[in-house]
């Protein structure tokens, strides 16, 4: 661990915690809209209404007595994911990928009894996994089948893609890969690898684990810079549309790639972290400022994505066959 | 974003308002900015007791003169049914009078003194010494004593010292033995000196000792050294300056005169207090109405703590926003710091770590019991109380007083801290527990160190308006969008990634 000079940070436009909270979250995210993203159940409902692709909601558990009879519901489901509606940082997520007799099989391969699953639901309802220990609701949704392209890049778990969307423009992206150290969780604090992604193409451009630059996945040894996220344009569109749905100006969209359904919106975050800058080796501020200078309020989702690709993407990566020639260039900002 | 101009104006207004009010109050009311020296205050009480017999009785109590080293702050009397006045004779005298009083009577005279060694009063030149009249055989004995001692002395004070030495030497001179049989040492010394034509007088003084009751005046002798009175103790010689003696009767012929009564006596009780210059100033001022000072003492000491909270909050805000330390619970460190104020730092930190460690051990067992959240916290609260009780009792038995102070910690906060730490441990591993726990402890210790500064404690309580300044700074920090200190470390890996 060393120190970096504040001038160097400022020169590269690194966004700090205070500035993010005050100048972006405080300014562009209205308080009353926070529950839309803090409560995953609400997020799911508005996304469904807006037609955004997301894992299907199978069941909600709202009270203790529903847990007593939950086996009837679970019996119908071969695989499922239990999430606390108000969880944070991936806490309290239980992924069941199948059955072994009476027992449930977790993604790690561990076996759980029905009682253990019920206990997990009880804990979730009592608020163990939620912010501030508030009583919560448990969501049961479909299991995402990870796109096999990531198989060599991830230790268990489904890699997810975090996109920072500012006023509807995707500005920076990062792929989060679970590692043994992170216990299969795609959480950077716990040791997941973050791979910075070129906004233009979804190409890996740099990676970090525990804030240290890495080039290969620690468990599978796969070259992370070779990696390219498929369905990239679709993914950008999905993220950009979240702005219209939530009206949150500074938003983190967590998207997974399902083998069958393509990009699915996993969750939204009104206070996305700053590590994405390290993974990308670039600061957010220049990009955010460029967008703040635009005064074009009525650009379509497609136009915004095209703007982002043009301004934030690396043209070297974009030389590959472009699937989206239909987009026009950005309109010049009027004075 | 809201305009920065009005915000800065508001902040400046708050800041200036705080400073100006503080300055005004300092000038107008004389409240010191510094905590100030502690002052020694004596409270004396003279209790007069007598049996009233006649129709009308009158009591005269000689009041102490103005003297070196002591300043009278206030004097009061308590005497129901008596008329009271003060008369000026050789010395000031309190006069109580009453008609128709019967039986035992009690009168009180209370005096508050400030001990100030620098206070010097000029003594008046006494009139020529008047020689006492002796009767035989004492006259011969006295003149023989003077004849032996006089040649060995140069002036009044040295003669007095000489006589004192002789009076306290074994075996006693025959003449002195005869005289001391008849007179008290002070009486004798006074009489001998005056016979030798030395300006001397017998005085009575009160030895000031804390928490003494039913004391009586002691007799001393003063000798004029040409400039001032020199106080002599007939048993030891010149009274050293640091001996706490308060002269009561110097010029007046007696201390207590009672007419129309019998069995009269006066006794003294006293206590000492240390108080700040502030307190003394405050008590002498009427303008402190409608302020914290008008609250009862118990409430005031409560407010002394409460007024430190904003300072602690400022430390937390600074450490979190500017330094970027992580703490467990936003303001938990302040409450811990408040507890430290009462336990002192080392015992406080030790007992805190002890309770949290034991709590975490027990909590890890609770995880297996699968309790609902509220019940789990309640269980922890009860367990924390249990731990605190056991630790207190054990440490008392083992003779470690520090354990007793453990009960100052806010139990609910401790329970929540244990709960949070435990969840953090399970989900993010021990490293994060160390980071957040250590951060909280560090902030708590810093807040304690700041709140423990005497000047800050003084300013916070005596100039509550300065909290406007704290408020202004906190608000200003709330709009600080620069980097946090810890981010220079967090983003240090950019050094490799970023080209210059």
DSSP structure class, residue A334: P
Predicted pLDDT of residue B290: 60
Mean pLDDT of B328-353: 83
ipTM of the complex: 0.70
Q: Which residues contact A225 (CB under 8 A, 6 or more apart)?
A: A204, A205, A206, A207, A215
Using alpha carbons, select from A12, A306, A259 the residue that is nearest to residue B483.
Answer: A12
pLDDT (tens digit, 9 = 90+) per residue, B393-447? 887 777 665 555 666 677 777 888 888 888 788 777 788 888 888 999 999 999 9
Nearest-neighbour CA in chain B from A277: distance (Å): 9
- Judged by a CB distance cut-off of 8 A, whether residue A7 touches chain B is no
Mean pLDDT of A278-299: 86
Predicted pLDDT of residue B478: 87
Predicted pLDDT of residue B145: 81
Predicted pLDDT of residue B406: 62
Banded model confidence at residue A147, pLDDT cuts 50, 70, 90: confident
| CB-based contact A6 B496, cutoff 8 Å | no
Taking a contact as any Cβ pair under 8 Å apart, which residues of chain B between 323 and 342 contact chain A?
324
Most A CBs within 10 Å, among B423, B483, B491, to test the A interface: B491
Predicted pLDDT of residue A333: 40
Residue of B nearest to A25 (CA): B1
Note if the pTM is more than 0.95: no
- Residue B153 pLDDT exceeds 90: no
Instruction: Please classify residue A73 by burial: count the beta carbons closer than 10 Å to its beta carbon, then call 0-12 exposed, 13-18 middle and 19+ buried.
Output: middle
Cβ-contact B146, B192 below 8 angstroms: yes
pLDDT (tens digit, 9 = 90+) per residue, A188-206? 777 888 999 999 888 888 8
| CB-based contact B482 A211, cutoff 8 Å | no
Predicted pLDDT of residue A334: 38
- Judged by a CB distance cut-off of 8 A, whether residue A27 touches chain B is yes
Most A CBs within 10 Å, among B329, B366, B436, B481, to test the A interface: B481
Mean pLDDT of A254-265: 90
Mean pLDDT of A255-261: 89
Distance CA A308, CA A297 (A): 15
| CB-based contact A278 B491, cutoff 8 Å | yes
- Residue A322 pLDDT exceeds 50: no
B426 vs A contacts (CB less than 8 Å)? none
B494 vs A contacts (CB less than 8 Å)? 4, 8-9, 12, 14, 277-278, 281
Residue of B nearest to A14 (CA): B491
Mean pLDDT of B134-148: 81
A10 vs B contacts (CB less than 8 Å)? 483
| CB-based contact A18 B480, cutoff 8 Å | yes
Banded model confidence at residue A332, pLDDT cuts 50, 70, 90: very low
Dihedral sign computed on CA atoms, order B443, B444, B447, B453: negative
Predicted pLDDT of residue A139: 92
Q: Least CB-CB distance to B492: which of A3, A10, A27? A: A3
| Chains A–B, number of C-beta pairs less than 8 Å apart | 94
User: Percentage of chain A surpassing pLDDT 90?
Assistant: 23
Nearest-neighbour CA in chain B from A100: distance (Å): 24
| CB-based contact A128 B1, cutoff 8 Å | no
Nearest-neighbour CA in chain B from A316: distance (Å): 19
Predicted pLDDT of residue A328: 39
pLDDT (tens digit, 9 = 90+) per residue, B187-222? 888 888 888 888 888 888 888 877 777 888 888 888
- Judged by a CB distance cut-off of 8 A, whether residue B369 touches chain A is no
- Residue A182 pLDDT exceeds 70: yes
- Judged by a CB distance cut-off of 8 A, whether residue A298 touches chain B is no
At which residue do the structure tokens 């009104």 appear?
Answer: A270
Predicted pLDDT of residue B472: 94
Which strands make up the sheet holding B256-259, listed edge to edge?
A: B83-88, B92-99, B56-62, B256-259
Mean pLDDT over each residue of chain A, to the nearest integer: 84
- Judged by a CB distance cut-off of 8 A, whether residue B481 touches chain A is yes
- Residue A37 pLDDT exceeds 80: yes
- Judged by a CB distance cut-off of 8 A, whether residue A48 touches chain B is no
Mean pLDDT of B273-277: 64
| CB-based contact A8 B494, cutoff 8 Å | yes
Predicted pLDDT of residue A331: 41
B436 vs A contacts (CB less than 8 Å)? none
Tokens of A216: 């290969």
- Judged by a CB distance cut-off of 8 A, whether residue B428 touches chain A is yes
Predicted pLDDT of residue A153: 81
- Judged by a CB distance cut-off of 8 A, whether residue B489 touches chain A is yes
Predicted pLDDT of residue B97: 87
Tokens of B464: 């509550």
| CB-based contact B481 A22, cutoff 8 Å | yes
Where is pLDDT greater, at B153 or B47? B47
Q: Least CB-CB distance to B484: which of A2, A16, A211? A: A16
Mean pLDDT of B137-153: 81
Predicted pLDDT of residue B298: 67
User: Percentage of chain B surpassing pLDDT 90?
Assistant: 9
Mean pLDDT over each residue of chain B, to the nearest integer: 81
User: Percentage of chain B surpassing pLDDT 70?
Assistant: 89
* Per-range mean pLDDT, top range of B15-19, B171-175, B264-268: B15-19
Residue of A nearest to B369 (CA): A119
Nearest-neighbour CA in chain A from B350: distance (Å): 28
- Residue A318 pLDDT exceeds 90: no
- Judged by a CB distance cut-off of 8 A, whether residue B432 touches chain A is yes
């Amino acid at each position: 661990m060393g120190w970096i000079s504040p001038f160097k940070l400022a020169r590269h436009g690194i966004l700090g915690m205070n500035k993010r909270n005050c100048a972006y979250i405080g300014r562009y995210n209205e308080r009353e809209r926070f529950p839309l993203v803090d409560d995953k159940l609400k997020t799911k409902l508005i996304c469904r209404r807006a037609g955004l692709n997301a894992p299907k909601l199978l069941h909600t558990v709202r009270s203790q007595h529903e847990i007593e009879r939950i086996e009837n519901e679970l019996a119908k489901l071969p695989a499922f994911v239990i999430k606390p509606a108000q969880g944070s940082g991936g806490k309290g997520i239980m992924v069941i990928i199948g059955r072994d007799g009476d027992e449930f099989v977790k993604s790690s391969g561990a076996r759980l009894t029905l009682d253990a699953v019920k206990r997990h639901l009880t804990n979730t309802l009592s608020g163990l996994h939620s912010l501030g220990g508030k009583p919560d609701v448990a969501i049961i949704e479909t299991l995402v089948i990870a796109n096999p392209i990531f198989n060599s890049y991830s230790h268990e778990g489904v890699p997810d893609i975090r996109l920072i969307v500012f006023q509807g423009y995707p500005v920076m992206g990062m792929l989060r890969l679970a590692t043994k150290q992170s216990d299969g969780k795609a959480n950077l604090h716990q040791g997941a690898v973050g791979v910075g992604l070129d906004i233009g193409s979804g190409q890996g451009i740099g990676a970090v684990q525990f804030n240290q630059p890495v080039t290969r996945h620690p468990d599978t040894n796969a070259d992370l810079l070779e990696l390219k996220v498929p369905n990239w344009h679709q993914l950008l569109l999905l993220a950009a549309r979240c702005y219209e749905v939530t009206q949150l100006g500074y938003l983190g969209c967590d998207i997974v790639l399902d083998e069958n359904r393509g990009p699915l919106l996993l969750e939204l975050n009104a206070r996305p972290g700053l590590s994405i800058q390290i993974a990308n080796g670039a600061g957010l501020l220049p990009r955010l400022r460029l967008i703040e200078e635009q005064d074009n309020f009525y650009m379509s989702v497609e136009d915004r994505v095209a703007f982002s690709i043009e301004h934030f993407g690396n043209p070297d990566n974009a030389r590959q066959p472009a699937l989206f020639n239909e987009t026009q260039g950005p309109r010049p900002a009027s004075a | 974003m809201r305009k920065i101009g009005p915000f800065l104006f508001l902040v400046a207004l708050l800041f200036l308002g705080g400073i100006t009010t503080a300055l005004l109050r300092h000038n107008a009311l004389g409240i010191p900015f510094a905590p100030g020296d502690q002052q020694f205050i004596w409270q004396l009480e003279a209790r007069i007791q007598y049996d009233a017999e006649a129709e009308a009785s009158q009591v005269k109590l000689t009041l102490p003169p103005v003297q070196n080293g002591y300043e009278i702050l206030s004097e009061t009397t308590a005497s129901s049914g008596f008329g009271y006045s003060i008369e000026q004779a050789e010395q000031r005298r309190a006069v109580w009078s009453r008609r128709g009083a019967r039986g035992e009577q009690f009168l009180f005279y209370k005096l508050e003194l400030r001990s100030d060694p620098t206070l010097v009063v000029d003594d008046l030149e006494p009139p020529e010494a008047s020689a006492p009249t002796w009767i035989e055989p004492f006259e011969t004995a006295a003149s023989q004593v003077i004849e032996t001692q006089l040649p060995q002395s140069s002036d009044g004070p040295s003669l007095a010292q000489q006589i004192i030495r002789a009076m306290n030497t074994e075996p006693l001179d025959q003449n002195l033995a005869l005289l001391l049989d008849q007179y008290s040492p002070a009486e004798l010394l006074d009489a001998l000196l005056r016979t030798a034509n030395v300006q001397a007088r017998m005085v009575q003084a009160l030895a000031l000792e804390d928490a003494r009751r039913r004391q009586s005046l002691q007799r001393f002798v003063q000798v004029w050294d040409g400039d001032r009175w020199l106080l002599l103790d007939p048993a030891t010689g010149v009274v050293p300056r640091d001996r706490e003696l308060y002269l009561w009767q110097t010029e007046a012929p007696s201390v207590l005169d009672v007419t129309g009564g019998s069995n009269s006596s006066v006794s003294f009780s006293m206590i000492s207090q240390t108080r700040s210059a502030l307190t003394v100033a405050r008590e002498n001022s009427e303008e402190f109405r409608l302020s914290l000072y008008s609250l009862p003492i118990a409430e005031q000491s409560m407010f002394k703590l409460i007024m430190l909270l904003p300072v602690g909050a400022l430390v937390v805000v600074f450490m979190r926003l500017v330094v970027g330390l992580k703490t467990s619970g936003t303001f938990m460190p302040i409450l811990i710091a408040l507890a430290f104020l009462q336990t002192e730092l080392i015992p406080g930190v030790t007992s805190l770590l002890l309770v949290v460690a034991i709590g975490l051990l027990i909590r890890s067992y609770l995880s297996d019991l699968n309790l609902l959240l509220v019940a789990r916290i309640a269980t922890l609260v009860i367990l924390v109380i249990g731990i605190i009780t056991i630790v207190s009792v054990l440490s008392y038995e083992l003779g470690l007083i520090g354990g007793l102070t453990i009960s100052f910690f806010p139990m609910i906060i401790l329970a929540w801290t244990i709960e949070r730490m435990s969840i953090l441990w399970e989900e993010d591993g021990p490293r994060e527990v160390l980071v957040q726990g250590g951060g909280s402890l560090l902030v708590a210790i810093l807040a304690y160190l700041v709140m423990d500064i005497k000047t800050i404690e003084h300013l916070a309580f005596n100039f509550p308006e300065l909290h406007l300044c704290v408020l202004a700074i906190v608000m200003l920090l709330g709009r600080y969008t620069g980097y946090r200190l810890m981010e220079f470390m967090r983003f240090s890996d950019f050094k490799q990634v970023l080209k210059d």
